[in-house]
Each structure stands twice: as structure tokens, then as C-alpha cells.
Amino acid sequence: MSAKAGTGSTFERQGLSDEQLVAILRIMILHRTLENRGFALNRQGKIPFASASEGHEAVQAGAAMAFERGKDILVPYYRDLGLDLGIGLTSYEVMLSLFARIDDHSAGRQFPHHYASKKLGLYTISSVIAAQTSHAVGAAYAMKLRKERGRAVLTTFGDGATSEGEWHEAVNFAATHKLPIVFLCENNEWAISTPLSAQMGQPDVYKRAAGYGMPGVVVNGFDPVACYAVTKEAMDRARHGGGPTLIEAKCYRILSHTTDDDDRSYRTREEVDERRKEDPVPAFERLLVEQGVLTLQSLEDLKASILAETNEATDRAETVAYPRPEDLFTRLHEGPWEPWQ
Ligand SMILES: Cc1ncc(C[n+]2csc(CCOP(=O)(O)OP(=O)(O)O)c2C)c(N)n1
Ligand SMILES: [Mg+2]
């Protein structure tokens, strides 16, 4: 476990270079900046919807560092902006999705934040809770049938998803067939307005792994370096024939579920204010400055460049055209094939 800023304990960097540590922080700040921009654009009436993942930055940026670009497959869920950025999605692509413009991967027809990129190994995102775990298991099964080694599938979901029958079927199938897959639960203690205590009989998702016959690991989801380390270990095991792992990263959803939700109707401001003290973004900034990985000036420069990138992506995407009615059936399938042929 890496040190918390200000504790004076030894910092365990888990083999990460200074450049990699800064890359993790960069994704965390970019994640937050783009997400806050999404909220602002929604409140300005410019986009219909944005989701909220404040509190998930550390687990996502850490796990993304364990993903091997060009080899692995990521099957994420809607709250994974940071993971998607961490494996190579650009700020411009994020804004095309939020503004629903024609140059978006799904030509502006998908739900916002539901990205897809064959180039990045990023599966198209399903809004149906836990459905992505079956898709991910299918991809891992294909890897096994083709006798591929050195690559694996990373799939993510929330605590609420682990109550779905489909989740249990997917995990059971992966364990039975020893598939190259890692199941990463971002346990933020809420499923919209349903608290964890109304979701399951005990609060630990990772313990379910034992029932299926795979390793179950719990990690502090506010610690990006620890999240990187457990994900890397599990992905390496999966890549080399060791089968699946269930990881539970304990974090917290600081904002409402989405721009369409008002969390004041189901949880107190005192609870949220208290949990915001665990905010992983300023904590990791402080840690890297304390450890001499960044100076205060280089941290400010990093934030300025992220803000400039966000502004540029916003302005550029906003000028792109919306899809037209005649675009409805284009870019649904790769190649010239169209559904009516
Ligand atoms: C099968 C299904 N049931 C219900 C919904 C509505 N829904 C959307 S998000 C959500 C909460 C999911 O909570 P969790 O899995 O903990 O993920 P989180 O949003 O907290 O990250 C629900 C119930 C849905 N999309 N799909
Ligand atoms: Mg949740």
C-alpha cells in the first residue's frame, strides 16, 4: 500500500517511474476537468446529460496503467471516463460524445459517455447494468479458444451490478473455464439512491470470489498506485493462463449519479462533505509534490495544460455538425455492409 500524503510513511511506488506517476496524476486531473466541464455544459443547456465519477479517479487511472495498449481489451461501464482516457481516448472524443456530433465513434447516436474504439481495444459500452460482464467473458473466451497468450480482458462495474444475475453467470463462467479476465468492481457504496446496506447482506464484494473459485482482492480505491499494483498482478496472471480475479476497489461517488439525479433526496450533505475529505485527486497531487516527483510549479503547469486541452476539445467539438436523419444506418458495421443488404 502506498503512503498517504502527510503521513510521513514510506512511499511504495510499485515499480512505477516518475513519468508513469505523473501520467497517472494527469489522467486523474483530466478526468475531473472533463467531467466538471460536462456538468457545466449541461447546466448551460448545451448538452442533455453527463455522468459523475468524482471519487473514482484513482482506481481508474491506476487500473489503466496496468492495461497494455494494442493487446488487452477493456469492457468498461458508463462511469469509466478516467479508464477510457487512461487507455488512450482523447478529450476531443469525449466532447464529441457529450455533444452528440457526427464525428463521434457512434456518430452521435449513443448515450453520452458510451464510447467505443476498436483501435484502443475499447468495447462499446452497455447501459444495461452487468451486461458488459457477459460481453467481456465472451471476449476472454475467444482469446482462450484461439489459444492466445499475453493478453487479457479487463471489465469493470459498480457494486449494484454484483446483485444482477447476469454478473453471477459471467463470473461463474469465467471461473469454470479459467478465462483470461479481470473483474474490477468500483464499489462507491451507492447504486443511484440504493445504499450498499440495501444491496447486499455483507459489504464486501471481493468475498464473493471464493464462492466461484477465483482469487478475490480488496484495495483502497482512493490509492491509485495500490490500484495499479493489484490490477497489474491480476492482469499478468490472466495473460499467462492463471485464470480470472475479482478485485474490489472501495471508493465513493462524491457527486450525484448523473446530471439528471439530485442526491440531496437520499443522502445528507454531512455524509458527502465527510467523504469528500478522502478526495483522491488533491491527495495524490500532494503526495507527488512531497515525494519530489513534481514541483508546485510543474503541478500548476500540468493543470494549465489540461485546462487548455479541455477548452480546445470543447470548442472544437461544439462546431461539428449533428448527425442527419440519413446518417441513421451508417457506420453501424465495419466495411461496406449495410443492414438491409
Ligand atoms: C438492468 C438494469 N437495471 C437498472 C438500470 C438503471 N440503473 C442505471 S445505473 C444504476 C445503478 C448502478 O449502480 P452500481 O452498479 O453500483 O454502479 P454506479 O452507478 O454506482 O457506479 C441503475 C440501477 C439499468 N441501467 N440496467
Ligand atoms: Mg455503485
**Closest CA to ligand 1's atom 7:** 129
Mutate to test the pocket of ligand 1, among 132, 190, 192, 251 (most ligand atoms within 8 A of CB): 192
Residues 6+ away with beta carbon under 8 Å from 47: 38, 41, 98, 99, 100, 112
pLDDT digit string (tens) for 277-312? 999 999 999 999 999 999 999 999 999 999 999 999
Angle, alpha carbons 223-226-229 (nearest 5°): 150
**Closest CA to ligand 1's atom 3:** 129
Q: 95, 314 in Cβ contact below 8 A?
A: yes
Q: Is residue 48 part of a domain?
A: yes
Distance 268 CA to ligand 2 centre (A): 17
**Distance (Å, rounded) from C-alpha 128 to C-alpha 142?**
22
61 pLDDT exceeds 60?
yes
Residues 6+ away with beta carbon under 8 Å from 85: 27, 30, 31, 34, 64, 91, 94
Q: Phi/psi of residue 171, each to 5°? A: -65, -40
Q: Which domain holds residue 112?
A: 18-319
The reply to whether 135 belongs to the active site is: no
- The pLDDT value given to residue 334: 66
- The pLDDT value given to residue 7: 45
Joined together, the cell numbers standing for residue 45 give 443547456
Burial classification of residue 109, based on how many CB atoms lie within 10 Å of its CB (0-12 exposed, 13-18 middle, 19 or more buried): middle
- Whose cell is 519530489? That residue is 292
The reply to whether 113 belongs to the active site is: no
341 pLDDT exceeds 60?
no
Q: Is residue 8 part of a domain?
A: no
Q: Is residue 149 part of a domain?
A: yes
* Residue 87, CA atoms < 13 Å, CB-side half-sphere: 29
- The pLDDT value given to residue 3: 44
pLDDT digit string (tens) for 3-58? 444 444 689 999 999 999 999 999 999 999 999 999 999 999 999 999 989 999 99
Does ligand 1 come within 6 angstroms of the Cβ of 250?
no
- The pLDDT value given to residue 336: 65
**Distance (Å, rounded) from C-alpha 71 to C-alpha 239?**
10
Mean pLDDT of 325-329: 86
Could you list which residues have their CB under 5 Å from ion ligand 2? 158-160, 188, 191
What CATH number has the domain bearing residue 289?
3.40.50.970
Residue percentage of the chain with pLDDT more than 70: 95
Q: Is residue 327 part of a domain?
A: no
pLDDT digit string (tens) for 116-143? 998 999 999 989 999 999 999 999 999 9
Mutate to test the pocket of ligand 1, among 53, 54, 56, 129 (most ligand atoms within 8 A of CB): 129
**Distance (Å, rounded) from C-alpha 283 to C-alpha 279?**
7
Burial classification of residue 325, based on how many CB atoms lie within 10 Å of its CB (0-12 exposed, 13-18 middle, 19 or more buried): exposed
The reply to whether 257 belongs to the active site is: yes
Burial classification of residue 248, based on how many CB atoms lie within 10 Å of its CB (0-12 exposed, 13-18 middle, 19 or more buried): buried
pLDDT digit string (tens) for 189-218? 999 999 999 999 999 999 999 999 999 999
- The pLDDT value given to residue 333: 72
Strands 190-191, 194-195: pairing is antiparallel
- The pLDDT value given to residue 338: 54
Three-state SS at 200:
coil
Q: Is residue 199 part of a domain?
A: yes
Q: Is residue 294 part of a domain?
A: yes
Joined together, the cell numbers standing for residue 125 give 459500452
Q: Which atom of ligand 1 is nearest to the CA of 253?
A: 20
Q: 167, 139 in Cβ contact below 8 A?
A: no
Q: Phi/psi of residue 219, each to 5°? A: -145, 150
Q: Is residue 219 part of a domain?
A: yes
Number of domains in the chain: 1
**Distance (Å, rounded) from C-alpha 105 to C-alpha 94?**
10
Residue type, position 38, single letter? G
Q: Is residue 9 part of a domain?
A: no
Instruction: Write the DSSP string, 48-64.
Output: S--B--TT-HHHHHHHH
Burial classification of residue 128, based on how many CB atoms lie within 10 Å of its CB (0-12 exposed, 13-18 middle, 19 or more buried): exposed
The pTM (predicted TM-score) of the whole model is: 0.95
- The pLDDT value given to residue 185: 99
pLDDT digit string (tens) for 145-194? 999 999 999 999 999 999 999 999 999 999 999 999 999 999 999 999 99
* Band (1; pLDDT cuts 50, 70, 90): very low
pLDDT digit string (tens) for 250-266? 999 999 999 999 999 99
Does ligand 1 come within 6 angstroms of the Cβ of 251?
no
